[in-house]
Chain A
Amino acid sequence: MSQSKFTTIGRKVLMALSGFFLMFFLLQHLTINMLSVVDPDSFNSVSHFMGYNPVIQFLMQPILIFAVVFHFVMGMYLEYKNNKARSVKYAYNKPGTNSNWMSRNMIYSGLVVLAFLGLHFYDFWIPEMDFKYISGHEEEPTRYLVELNHKFQNPIKVGLYVLAFIALALHLLHGFQSSFQSVGFNNNKYTPTIKKLGNIFAIVVPALFAFVAIYHFLNPLHQ
């Protein structure tokens, strides 16, 4: 059998590192989204900064895209290899007696998040790229809140976003604590706290994302 440069453990360490990076990114993204509710003026100025700062646009954004692509490609590769390690499946299996659903279905919660990312890029990223680089519009530092609000007037879209945040919550209910284990961090003193923190993170972060989407749906801006 062929040996690649990375062991199965090495791949999982990279999976965890990309997971840490993505979770950190979620916090940053959420902070800005929350501004659209609590302080619309700052939301506009921070969005403008993120959209036009060269470090963000030409360094951080490519790193983020790389991390996302790396994470899901590696996730699918691991899933494929893991599946191949048992070609004859059990006729009768009770996996629920020894592990939880979230941990066994990372690929499915991940694929729902991936489908969402497609929709999200279509909604926000592609129009942004078009506005700035293709159509070449002038900068408009106050357009962001109105654009955001208008995109959430469609109830189907809000529903899809909420569904995706539920999948994200399921992904992180296992993923948060799992990434610590993958990088070798497991001890009696801190692991129980990490598991609790992970549950809080996995529920509160997606819930707040969903809250922002629903908030804009319920508070349409007219102009």
Chain B
Amino acid sequence: MDLTLKIWRQKDAKSTGKMVTYPISGIEGHMSFLEMMDILNDELIEKGEEPVAFDHDCREGICGMCSMFINGEAHGPDRKVTTCQLHMRMFEDGETIHIEPFRANAFPVLKDLMIDRSSFDRIQQSGGYISVNTSGNTQDANALPIPKKDADLAMDAATCIGCGACVATCKNSSAMLFVSAKVSQYALLPQGQVEAKDRVLNMVNQMDVEGFGSCTNTGACEVECPKGISIENIARMNRELMKATV
């Protein structure tokens, strides 16, 4: 495949960036999108140019590092995949591919396609935990009966990898899907009840402090989420917040 890449280049957090065009050829359908980026970078290095900086780590869809807004969608045109799991066969020979960083003021661009998602870490630190006795007297987990339905829903919520595709996709740069997944995974389980009230209040407050937008319920986030997190979690977080407020 021969492709034309239009990539956002930005020297550092302070510079203003711009889209730069790169032709690339010899791309195979079985390659992942990141392999294609590696090939581009090899070529740039050979030519003595600055390679394109992008986030990546596990390259198997579990770490949530790889980002990129590809052809107008977070993680590109495929569904329920991260960029490292996106195959080049999703594109056609001769196609132009637009590649931008995930954009939100709460996710400042560090360089090219690399962004700072530490706002997510601060939200998580503000309440995304439970207090457990780890002194050696830890209670056996099976001593607490949990309905299968709740266990499944909590597990589904816990599959969120914190990638930020929901924020990148949302017209409001809202982090509601991420925060609701983190709130839900505890709200559904008995272990989460002790701190339930403070958790939702603190996490939602932190979300607002970081400058994420609010939710218009467009549902775009759940369509683009690589883990299929449902906006039912957002409704649950809204219930949790109302319970904690009144």
User: Using a CB–CB distance below 8 Å, which chain A residues touch chain B?
Assistant: 1, 3, 7-13, 78, 81-95, 97-100, 103-104, 106, 174, 177-178, 181-187
Which residues of chain A have C-beta atoms less than 8 A from B239's C-beta? 184
Whether B106 sits at the interface, judged by CB under 8 Å, is yes
How far, in Å, is A109 (CB) from chain B's closest CB?
12
Interfacial chain A residues near B151, Cβ < 8 Å: none
Q: Which residues of B contact A100 (CB under 8 A)?
A: 218
Among B176, B214, B224, the residue within 8 A (CB) of A11 is B214
B-chain residues with CB within 8 Å of residue A174 when the two chains form the complex: 217
Q: Are B238 and A13 in contact (CB under 8 A)?
A: yes
The one of B72, B174, B204, B212 in contact with A97, judged by C-beta atoms closer than 8 angstroms, is: B72
Rounded to whole Å, the gap between the CB of A152 and the closest CB of chain B is: 35
With A85-B212, A89-B103, A98-B169 already in contact, the answer to whether A10 and B220 are too (CB < 8 A) is no
B219:A85 contact, CB within 8 angstroms: no
- Cα A103 to Cα B245 in complex, Å, equals 28
Asked if B103 and A90 make an inter-chain contact with CB atoms under 8 angstroms apart, the answer reads: yes
B217 touches A8 (CB 8 A): no
A7-B241, A85-B172, A98-B224 in contact; A178/B8 too (CB < 8 A)? Answer: no
B69 at interface (Cβ–Cβ under 8 A)? Answer: yes
Which stretch (B122-130, B136-144, B229-237) binds chain A? B229-237
A91-B100, A99-B223, A104-B218 known; A8-B171 Cβ under 8 A: no
9 closest Cβ pairs, A-B complex: A94-B72, A186-B235, A82-B172, A184-B239, A8-B214, A85-B213, A98-B223, A92-B98, A82-B213
Do B245 and A10 touch across chains, with their CB atoms under 8 A apart?
yes
Q: Name the CB-closest residue of A to B235.
A: A186
The B contact surface, by secondary structure, is mixed
Q: Is B208 an interface residue (CB 8 A)?
A: yes
B31 sits at the interface (CB 8 A): no
* Contact residues in A for B6 (Cβ distance below 8 Å): 91-92
Taking a contact as CB atoms under 8 Å apart, the answer to whether B218 and A103 are in contact is: yes
Question: Which interface residue of B109, B217, B219 has the most chain A CB atoms within 10 A?
Answer: B217
Contacts of A10 in B (CB 8 A): 241, 245
Residue of B nearest to A78 (CB): B214
Q: Given contacts A7-B208, A8-B204, is CB(A94)–CB(B242) below 8 Å? A: no
Whether a CB of chain A sits under 8 angstroms from the CB of B73 is: yes
CB contact list, B134-172 vs A, under 8 A: 169, 171-172
Q: How far is the CB of A1 from chain B (nearest CB, A)?
A: 5
B7 to chain A, nearest CB (A): 10
CA distance A104 to B174 in the complex (A): 13
Q: Is B13 close to A, CB under 8 A?
A: no
- Contact between B219 and A3 (Cβ–Cβ < 8 Å)? no
CB distance from B209 to the nearest CB of A (A): 5
Interface flag for B228 (CB, 8 Å): no
CA A89 to CA B176, docked complex, whole Å: 20
In the assembled complex, B205 has its CB within 8 A of some CB on chain A: yes
